[in-house]
Structure 1
Amino acid sequence: MMKTVKIKKADAAVKPWPHQREAIQAFHTSLVQGKKKMAFVLATGTGKTNIAIWCIDDFLKLYGHGRVLFISHLEQIWSQLDERFEAVAPHISRGCFMAGEERSLNATVINASVYTIASRIKSGTIPFTPKHFKAIIIDEFHHAATATYKTLFKYFTPEILVGMSCIKERHDAKDFLKYFGNNIVYELDTIEAIKRRAIAGLRYIALKDDIDYSIHKNGFAYKERDQNRKLIIPKKDLRVIERWQEIAPGKKTIVFCANIRHAERIVELLHSMHVSAVSVHYGLAPDVISKRTVAFRTGKVQVAVTIDKWLEGADFPDAEVALLLRPTKSWRIFVQARGRVLRRIPGVKETGIVIDAVGNHKWIGTYKHLVHERAQFAAPSGSGGDHRAELTHDPGLFALDISEVADIFALTGERQFITQEQAIAKYRELEKKKGKQPTITEYASKGHSIEVLERLYGRPGWRNFLKDMGKEALRSFKITRRQAREKYRELEKNKGRQPTGLEFAAEGYGIAKLDYLYGCPGWRNFLKSMGKDVLYSSQITRRQAKEKYRELEKNKGRQPTYTEYASEGYGIAMLVKLYGRPGWRNFL
């Protein structure tokens, strides 16, 4: 039977910080109250692994016995766990269950790879019964929505299930909190953590590079061939590295690149400038990765150049600079990258530096998030409680420097820089308000035009956008070509002229339907099938397009949106013909 005991400080040399003691107490309280599924959401750098180990220690004190399975999905987490146990709770016996390494399987804590566990469950060779572990702890639990973790959940029946992560929402909106009883027992975001000095402060610097990163593959990922062509430019690389040396001379740095070729190019450049550097990526053998990681950790090299291998789980407390040389539109990825340098060492490292040299500023979404965070930092803390004396509002601990890119903001309209997260949030808001899945016309009327979606997801933007959220274009599969033609002719008769694409879409025949029926570009192919040309495309000149835009801008007293401009008869097909793809952006 479980007994209630007061939490004591760990016996090991490493002692918990105030926020870590609060997290351990929250774990303890949840167990005592019988809520045995729980989640912790803590900013990167706050010591989630240490908290997990102290929670395991507390669990053993409460129950007196029981085995624990510690699940992770990255090898850098696996290799660091033994090290952390040795420092925090060396008295707890540990085993290992991973591909190529199975040892001490009767130990109190088994450190395991989710991939090995899932594979062995499927093959029927798992050496553990469903009830073997009394508790399971999952690191980076936002991955729990994937099929690999579902295999684990279906097999094991632990009494206690705990998740640790730095985020509580996925960009694809998959629900993973349900596995943990929707019970977040402790949460500490980046801003509150900086205020409480639980992590280092942030100094963000944006560098201008004049490169267009609007390159995609299938609308979702950046195309490697185009990345190489765009990114591997010696003069650009040299300028960035020279600025890095000016900003952070001699500081330990992690560089995030777009792909392997780009990473190796940066290493070569650093070597030519007499800077010690190594590349660390999945194209290398495991033993090479291990040696290079140790060299960076021990200070034998100043710079580690990676791709996405160290976005999660990598722990280098003395790394002071994150240099972003990759096109990153996702706020989540940005947060993970900057988290690599926010581990605080009191009196030694009080601030982490993020140098954004790729052009995240061109999407402005990242900067908007940062501005919002800065406002939170300056505002009174909402956490209150007994740790208010710990709080700081020192502006030097959250500094944004965009002096090099300030002109970018004056050149373009704000709507151009909607992020994927904002696009999805607007869709869900509209879906909730209407009580149904909105059409592309309804969505575009809110300022998130097809041009914005094509920039974010590639062509066809609307369909790729819906696919990313696990949805299909509404009614696309129920309408036939014949129905589309009949609707068009009916509209043409009613108006006494050839209708525009926007007018046709307003009748429920949007671009996604036409793309499905006729291939992309749907509207042009549809008109071609009826022997018609895209309305006005051949008659309007660039000069007329500009004059109409300026007229509309003057009437509204602001920069018009694409939807407003298209409603005047100047649609995307016309702009593409005049300016090439992407028409709206090139026109602006």
Structure 2
Amino acid sequence: MTHFTEQLKNSLEKGFIDKHHHHVSPFKPELLMNEKHKRQDVLTSLLDELKGCQSFLFSVAFITEAGLATLKSTLSDLHDKGIRGKIMTSTYQYFNQPKVFKELLKLKNVDIRISEVEAFHSKGYIFQHEEYYSLIVGSSNLTSGALKTNYEWNLKLTSHENGEIVGHFLDQFEEMWSVSVPLTLEWISAYKRSYRPVFGERVAEFPDSYGVNRLKEALQVEPNSMQLAALSGIEAVRAHGNTRALVVSATGTGKTYLAAFDVRRYRPKRMLFVVHREQILQKAKNDFHRVIGGDESDFGILSGSSRAMGARYVFATIQTISKQETLDQFNRDAFDYVLIDESHRAGAVTYQRIIEHFTPQFLLGMTATPERSDGYDLFKLFDYNIAYEIRLQEALEEDMLCPFHYFGVTDLEVSGNQVEFDVFTQLVSEERVERIIEKIDYYGFSGERLCGLMFCSSKREAKRLSEELNHRGFRTCALTGDDSQEKRRVEVTNLEEGRLDYILTVDIFNEGIDIPSINQVVMLRQTESSIIFIQQLGRGLRKHSSKQYVTVIDFIANYKNNYLIPIALSGDRSQNKDSIRRKVIDRSYISGTSTINFEAIAKERIYESINQAKLTDLKVLKEAYHNLKNRLGRPPMLSDFVEHYSMDPIVIGTKKGHYGAFLNIVEPDLPDLPSIHSKVLLMVTQELLSGKRVHEALLMQLLLEQESLNKQDFIHRLREQGIRSDQATIHSLENVLSLNFFKDADRLKYGGHALISWEGEVYRFSSHMHSLLKDEWFTQLFKDVLTASLARGQRYDQTKPLTRLEKYTRKDACRLLNWDKEEQSTIYGYKIKHQTCPIFVTYHKGEDVEASVNYGDSFINPEVFHWYTRSRRTTKSEEVRKIIEAQEREIDIHLFVKKNDDEGGDFYYLGEVKPDRESVQDTTMLNQDGQELSVVTMNLLLQERVDQQIYDYLHEQTH
């Protein structure tokens, strides 16, 4: 019986006969649903199957552009691997729009046919693997809603290739395929002539497709959910007697309307609204008039030749209002309500001038990006009163923004030592222009006509690319900072009204421009800032009746700042490379029907950039520290970084050994810790702050609250909180806090004194710790580490020693597997101790690795890992016998794998494994001198299948 067959039988046992069947079942039948709170959706399972399959068959009645867009990047990668598939769909109820059939024709590795069977309504996905087939059958059509957000039921089954059920599916598919019509341009033309959309169903699928929501909005202007919450927040700020407030709100969430609603509620005698760019003045004035009502003459613009200085509601550009001769014409109390749009710019001299001049009763700032890299404290300007905050992920979750499909595609390679002229020549070369056209066509856009923005790296590039695109039939223009406001206004109108396909620009449209009909954003420049990235992405996120989603195409070359892309998309501010890397591996954090997709080579370039990035440079950490300090109005503690989803406390807490030492650098007025205090703080920071096991931190936190604690009471407390409480773990905890676990050098580094003592069954702080806790500053820092450790520990499964797919060092394994001593330096690839055997594998070894240890460890598939023992071992060696006979000897084998040495000393924990005895064999390998060395190889059977995304990441070789 093969390993797969055994696994399949266990899966069927658990899925259909006994749910308590003890075997972990990677192929067990699954009900696939879209469950937001669990961050699970049908799409992830579909993509996982696609990535690992040898061929695929889809039989789906309904397909939408947005649904197809979710697969395009993966299908492109499959095309590069030579993997093909078939999709059979229908014209049932005229659901499928003519345009989606044109999109299907773009799939080079997929054969498409149209079933003409009446009432064709199937929803099935079949994936061929090496020895088996996977089937996903149920209610989900190929639409973004069905794959990501709708309430759907789909059953995922796995069948041996000889199974009867898969045979029925394959026969039925081929039977229908044989009588279906191949998709051609001629067929699409004929379908378009006969196409009769059913209005009701179109609105049900796309609630705003026909402007229904726009019509409702026109009849009645009322606050949305975000605006209601923000209005309450602003009112609460005023109720406490404050005169300033800041609203942090993602681009496209309706900040202008929010401001208008608050002005309507506040009813000022006069209001000043200050904006950065002239383009949005007229729209802002119209939106305010629509909300507030009254005479149009009450609303006036102060910019350029328009000088409505006496209006009740004045809408001014910063360039005009900040001029001294303009300010001199206004009394300091001329306005009782002042609004600053894009208020992250308020540190500039022009803004400071008007803020210092006017004395309003209330000052409101609005921004999507409050964090500053110039050190300016925006929060202080608004007295640290954050009335409301909603970021990109939350706004998407609340359905306030247009969904987007982001595609990170592969751009040309740029050599780091190329001169500027050579780079420019490459950027506008025929090869690159053709590549741009290929990708913008393949990934497409939503709606009937293209309305796109391209962000270029230089004015020269924008102008030349515009010319090249125009020569190839596109209608484009380049706009830069050299162009007048009137020129910009005219070209934006041309884009909105369909006379242009694209505007190519550099940075002038990052903010202060509102073109809701944008349905494609193309990024042709390297990412220099996560703030600018989000600003440019945001150009397409406003909802509009002409589109159901916006396509974002990001051309990723081999730039050193590529690591900023996942940071920007996820909002991850941890500065933790593992956390950021995870945002590339697993993109399920994105809300709603939006998706994030990377082509394979582009993804590898981001991984390389993450590996090389200097995320923990002191300068970077200081900036992140000051950003949080500015927000809080006081020096932050480690627990503040956790609470505010800011930097990972591990990153900043361990930078200088412990956080107290870091604070001494950024806050010179804070006290220095004596050496004996510093050593204990170093110990709890280095060993416990990670939260990988919370037992030690929890015990000491309890001892800070009470002088002593009975061991049984502590065990009871652990059980109450669902934390494991076995005797081996308790003994390990005692070893760690007594410092007996550590080597002599570490014990000396950590002060050499136990942190706790116990007599019989009662725990207490040691006398040494009692003396240290008399120092208030030490106590504050010590408590803070414990609090941060417990908060961080929530990401780990505390019912088990190790959490699957989290990362651990060899030292972590020693402690968490309850070894008496820290023996990381002698583990090497593996070590058997205390009935456990951790195995550590570096999957892609460096070229400088000696041949005698350069084993061919590799995945055979997500369930089986092919592994080699140390050299100079045979199947008769005692350590090898222990591994082969691990089950009989009750030895638990744990597998840890990292992709390469660029990841540092942390390994992904892939779970427990058992040797496949039939695969064990003696073999040999050559060392660097050409000498043959004996070695044993075997297959390790994973208790639980590796998640496809982690498998792909580890398995794929870096380009």
**Shift of the alpha carbon at 1:130?**
0.9
**Shift of the alpha carbon at 1:110?**
0.9
**Shift of the alpha carbon at 1:159?**
1.2
**Pairing partner for 1:88 from 269, 285, 291:** 291
Tell me the amino acid that sits aligned with residue 272 of structure 1: H
Alignment of 1:392-471 (within 5 A): 394=592, 396-408=593-605, 412=608, 414-418=610-614, 424-425=620-621, 428=625, 429=652, 430=655, 433-437=661-665
**Match in the other structure for 1:71:** 274
- Distance (Å, rounded) in 1 between the aligned partners of 2:544 and 2:217: 20
**Pairing partner for 1:284 from 483, 486, 489:** 483
Contact 1:361 1:405 in 2 (8 A): no
**1:263 to 1:312, Cα distance in 2 relative to 1, 3 A:** same
Contact 1:257 1:324 in 2 (8 A): yes
Question: Is 1:117 the counterpart of 2:355 in the alignment?
Answer: no
Question: Is 1:23 the counterpart of 2:251 in the alignment?
Answer: no
**Shift of the alpha carbon at 1:413?**
6.9
Q: Which stretch shows the higher mean deviation, 163-172 or 351-360?
A: 351-360
- Distance (Å, rounded) in 1 between the aligned partners of 2:556 and 2:282: 31
**Shift of the alpha carbon at 1:211?**
2.5
Deviations 1:309-357 (A, max 9, x none): 11002111121111001122211110000000111236x5332221111
Other structure's SS at 1:145 match:
coil
Other structure's SS at 2:504 match:
strand
**1:117 to 1:195, Cα distance in 2 relative to 1, 3 A:** same
**Match in the other structure for 2:555:** 357
- Distance (Å, rounded) in 2 between the aligned partners of 1:14 and 1:180: 29
Q: How many pairs does the alignment contain?
A: 420
Other structure's SS at 2:323 match:
helix
Other structure's SS at 2:464 match:
helix
Structure 1 stretches lacking a partner, 5+ long: 1-8, 217-222, 380-391, 439-545, 563-587
- Distance (Å, rounded) in 2 between the aligned partners of 1:351 and 1:311: 20
Contact 2:540 2:550 in 1 (8 A): yes
**Pairing partner for 1:239 from 435, 443, 468:** 435
CA RMSD of aligned residues (A): 3.7
Contact 1:171 1:421 in 2 (8 A): no
**1:414 to 1:259, Cα distance in 2 relative to 1, 3 A:** closer
Contact 1:42 1:48 in 2 (8 A): yes
**1:301 to 1:421, Cα distance in 2 relative to 1, 3 A:** farther
**1:231 to 1:10, Cα distance in 2 relative to 1, 3 A:** closer
Tell me the amino acid that sits aligned with residue 268 of structure 1: E
- Distance (Å, rounded) in 1 between the aligned partners of 2:306 and 2:420: 34
Tell me the amino acid that sits aligned with residue 238 of structure 2: L
Comparing both chains, which one has the higher relative contact order based on Cα–Cα distances under 8 Å and sequence gaps of 6 or more?
1
Contact 1:329 1:420 in 2 (8 A): no
**Shift of the alpha carbon at 1:126?**
2.1
Deviations 1:447-492 (A, max 9, x none): xxxxxxxxxxxxxxxxxxxxxxxxxxxxxxxxxxxxxxxxxxxxxx
**1:317 to 1:435, Cα distance in 2 relative to 1, 3 A:** same
Contact 1:279 1:304 in 2 (8 A): yes
**Shift of the alpha carbon at 1:23?**
1.8
Other structure's SS at 1:340 match:
helix
Alignment of 1:184-333 (within 5 A): 184-212=386-414, 214=416, 228-248=424-444, 250-333=449-532
- Distance (Å, rounded) in 1 between the aligned partners of 2:515 and 2:450: 13
Tell me the amino acid that sits aligned with residue 269 of structure 2: G
Other structure's SS at 2:301 match:
strand
Identity value in percent: 24
For normalisation by structure 1, the TM-score amounts to: 0.64
Structure 2 stretches lacking a partner, 5+ long: 1-215, 573-582, 626-651, 667-844, 855-896, 905-958
Deviations 1:69-105 (A, max 9, x none): 11111122324322323443342621222243312x2
**1:49 to 1:399, Cα distance in 2 relative to 1, 3 A:** same
- Distance (Å, rounded) in 2 between the aligned partners of 1:271 and 1:277: 6
Question: Is 1:559 the counterpart of 2:901 in the alignment?
Answer: yes
Tell me the amino acid that sits aligned with residue 487 of structure 2: V
Contact 1:39 1:183 in 2 (8 A): yes
Other structure's SS at 1:405 match:
helix
Other structure's SS at 1:357 match:
strand
- Distance (Å, rounded) in 2 between the aligned partners of 1:119 and 1:178: 25
**Match in the other structure for 2:564:** 366
Other structure's SS at 1:31 match:
helix
**1:198 to 1:147, Cα distance in 2 relative to 1, 3 A:** same
- Distance (Å, rounded) in 2 between the aligned partners of 1:211 and 1:354: 21
- Distance (Å, rounded) in 2 between the aligned partners of 1:355 and 1:422: 33
**1:111 to 1:94, Cα distance in 2 relative to 1, 3 A:** same
Question: Is 1:97 the counterpart of 2:302 in the alignment?
Answer: yes
- Distance (Å, rounded) in 1 between the aligned partners of 2:379 and 2:664: 24
**Shift of the alpha carbon at 1:423?**
6.0
For normalisation by structure 2, the TM-score amounts to: 0.40
The structure with the greater share of residues assigned to strand is 2
Contact 1:10 1:54 in 2 (8 A): no
**1:422 to 1:248, Cα distance in 2 relative to 1, 3 A:** farther
**Shift of the alpha carbon at 1:167?**
1.3
**Structure with greater Cα Rg:** 2
**Shift of the alpha carbon at 1:279?**
2.0
**Shift of the alpha carbon at 1:188?**
0.9
Alignment of 1:11-50 (within 5 A): 13-50=220-257
- Distance (Å, rounded) in 1 between the aligned partners of 2:558 and 2:543: 25
**Match in the other structure for 2:266:** 59
Tell me the amino acid that sits aligned with residue 311 of structure 1: N
Deviations 1:539-579 (A, max 9, x none): xxxxxxx9996579x899953699xxxxxxxxxxxxxxxxx
Contact 1:12 1:87 in 2 (8 A): no
Deviations 1:355-399 (A, max 9, x none): 1114387534134323566699856xxxxxxxxxxxx954x4233
- Distance (Å, rounded) in 2 between the aligned partners of 1:289 and 1:199: 25
**Shift of the alpha carbon at 1:137?**
0.3
Contact 1:67 1:132 in 2 (8 A): yes
Other structure's SS at 1:363 match:
helix
- Distance (Å, rounded) in 1 between the aligned partners of 2:541 and 2:529: 19
